[in-house]
Amino acid sequence: MIHNVLLIEKADGNVVVKTRFWKIDFLESDIAEFLAGFRDLYTTEGLAEDTPVFVAEKHKVFHGTVDGDMLLLLVTDGRDEDRVIQHRVREGAARVSTALRGNSIGYIRDNLDDILGELIFTRFKVSFVGSGGVGKSTLLRLLFGKEPAPGGYTPTINVAVDSSETIQFGTFLVTVWD
């Protein structure tokens, strides 16, 4: 699971943009440890340039070069398949590089989530199904902080299958259907 996304300067590790999706921190000391491991990749024979770097025994960091002087880091908990995250970080680095053409770093800071989009977020659809009158629509209304429908039970069967709101939990986007 990707829990942090960073864009850092390759030379000194200064953070350009950082987004934390879960309550798992990736600290300055972790960035320094990553850079040391990243530099070791180039001196170790037989390792591919995109080999992930383990940091603090709890982060598995995938990296992609952006315009030669920056690195896009996808910090994971290590449970995802390497090839999937490596593809995402390569694609993400290319997207950031493309977005930098004609735009400022400020644009990247403000729009990193949109630039990376589905590379970071996983979408789910959840449908509530069951017999009529058991409270499916009421449950949805309560989940979204709304009052139950006035006047008690109002049949919604075959009226309109409707998506309610999309909720973000970390890197998961959940659309709930009634």
Give the CATH number, domain containing residue 59: 3.30.450.60
Residues 72, 36 share a domain:
yes
The model's pTM is: 0.74
Question: Are 72 and 154 in the same domain?
Answer: no
**Alpha-helix runs per DSSP H in 10-135:** 28-43, 82-100, 105-116
DSSP one-letter code for 114: H
Task: Tell the residue number behind the tokens 């995802």, with chain if given.
Answer: 80
128 and 156, same domain (yes or no) = yes
> Do 108 and 138 share a structural domain?
no
Q: What is the pLDDT of residues 148-168, one digit of tens each?
A: 767 666 666 655 555 567 777
Residues 150 and 112 in one domain: no
> 66 and 127 in one domain?
no
pLDDT given for residue 178 in this prediction: 63
Do residue 77 and residue 145 come from a single domain?
A: no
**Pair 165, 144: CB distance under 8 Å:** yes
Q: How do residues 42-70 score in pLDDT, each as one tens digit?
A: 888 888 888 999 999 899 999 999 998 99
Domain count, the chain: 2
Mean pLDDT of 125-148: 78
Range of the domain at 164: 123-177
Least confident stretch, 41-45, 109-113, 167-171: 167-171
